[in-house]
Amino acid sequence: MISAYKNCLRIPELRKRLLITFGIIAICRLASLIPCPGVNPAGLKSLFGSNKGEGGVMDLLDLFSGGALEQFAVGALGIMPYISASIIMQLMTPVLPPLERMMREGESGHQKYNQIMRYVTLAICVIQGVMFSSAMMNPGRVGLQTENPVVINPGFFFVVSTVLTLTAGSMLVMWLGEMITEYGIGNGASLIITVNIVARLPVALNSLFKQVFGGYATGDNQLTIIHLLLLIVMFCVVCAATVALTQGVRKIPIRYAARRVASIGGTTAAQTSYLPLRVNYSGVMPIIFAGAILSFPMMLLRYLPADWKIVKWVAPLIVYGSAGYIILYGLMILVFSFFWVANQFNPIKISDDLQKNGGYIPGIRPGNDTANFLDRSMTRITFAGAIFLTALAILPMLLSKWVGVQPLIAQFFGGTSLMIIVGVSLDTMRQIEGYLLSRHYDGFMEKGHLRSRRG
């Protein structure tokens, strides 16, 4: 594997793409350090110091922005508006026929589709910019506590300037992500999120060592060395399980009948291939959907009087890490896993394409029988993958609740963060391995090669 990394620098095209990628990532990280105008650093420190570590929406947004939200930096929105826009477009494409036709028009259709996605990203940036600026001016209204004022001169002009700054920063990060996809090593948006998450790893490790060794001399340490060793072993096991979940597929054999080809004046031999059905077809989307939907009721309840009966009854059930939250979170992940597969996986279309190309599944009749077989197979695979994904998603909350691990540390033991890191890392290594193998160099593995997740 070390020789593979060395060989990356011997290929001029790959070396150029890697340098471009590293340079763009450095610019993205710089955008997370420049604060927006009009904010008070002492107020920001007080705000995030008193409301951090609860594992709620604020910690998750700060994690995805690479700490930019904590600084209320130009890149505080990060790449997430673009990711949200792409998810919305993917969900709306099967519903709206014009979008579906647009995707079938080739390169020109893809350009129109991407342009619409950029407009949706712009609208999300403006909405989130207004929400963030209003929250900074009046933190108590959304349930946040601070000793010092966060905004120096609150008012309309602060909202306008902040919305423009955050929107421009997010659109810049979106454009940089597209540049990584086109001129770098690909997966620009996903790679930026991964780098932002990994950027918080030193802070998490520092917090972990403080929990273990901070009060070791006085006996006040929250975790012991035994806990640390167990966490390291658990991290390795969870990483291996995440890789297995991400790469796991069921291969459905496909056989193509022999066909007569006029150009060669003969017939081609029958071919055998396979259709890979991914165990985790929906990826990390169910976790994102479930977390986003559960965050809205808590935000709405913060605007209601605390003495109302509905607030007293509902609020404890949806507090992050509570038993009610874990149960609802797990059930919603299961539901959204099947929802995403039902929305994106079309067994009828696959069956029709196989029949047009002369392909069939051995032992299964073409047409409706093939579609029903694929639907049953995908349902069973999705059920197993959804159970695994749910266990992986709630593991950080269980570690934080039962073991006492801080939420920032627990995020790296499962959930959205680990799924994104593992998935994007595998895709990036696969693309680099493609360059190496095309130039007759060895890949990252001694036997075989990395399998694509987009099978």
Query: In the structure, what pLDDT confidence band is assigned to residue 261 with cuts at 50, 70 and 90?
Result: low
Q: What is the pLDDT of residue 56?
A: 58
Strand partners, 273: 254
Of 151-160, 291-300, 394-403, where does mean pLDDT reach its minimum? 291-300
pTM score, whole prediction = 0.79
Rg of the Cα trace of the chain?
Answer: 25
pLDDT of residue 227: 79
User: Residue 383: pLDDT band by 50, 70, 90 thresholds?
Assistant: very high
Average pLDDT over residues 194-199: 86
Q: Where are the alpha helices (DSSP H) in 399-414?
A: 407-410
**In the predicted structure, residue 266 carries a pLDDT above the cut 60:** no
More confident residue, 413 or 164: 164
- Name the band, by pLDDT with cuts 50, 70 and 90, for residue 172: very high
Contact between 207 and 408 (Cβ < 8 Å):
yes
In the chain the domains, ranked by start, together with CATH numbers, are: 1-199 (1.10.3370.10)
Compute the residue count for the chain: 455
Dihedral (Cα; 84, 85, 87, 89), 10-degree rounding: 160
- Ranking 40-44, 51-55, 124-128, 205-209 by mean pLDDT, the lowest is 51-55
pLDDT band at 455 (very low <50, low <70, confident <90, very high): very low
Residue 50 has what pLDDT? Answer: 59
pLDDT 10s digits, 271-317 = 788 888 888 888 887 887 787 777 777 767 766 666 777 777 777 77
Mean pLDDT of the chain, nearest integer: 80
Weakest mean pLDDT among 19-28, 110-119, 135-144: 135-144
In contact, 172 and 122? CB cutoff 8 Å = no
% of the chain exceeding 90 in pLDDT:
11
Question: Percentage of the chain surpassing pLDDT 70?
Answer: 85
Predicted confidence at residue 142, as pLDDT, reads 61
More confident residue, 455 or 31: 31
67: left (phi over 0), alpha (psi -120 to 50) or beta: left
DSSP 345: -
Question: β-strand 259-261 against 266-268: which pairing, if any?
Answer: antiparallel
* DSSP annotation string for 70-91: HHTBTTSSTTHHHHHHHHHHHH
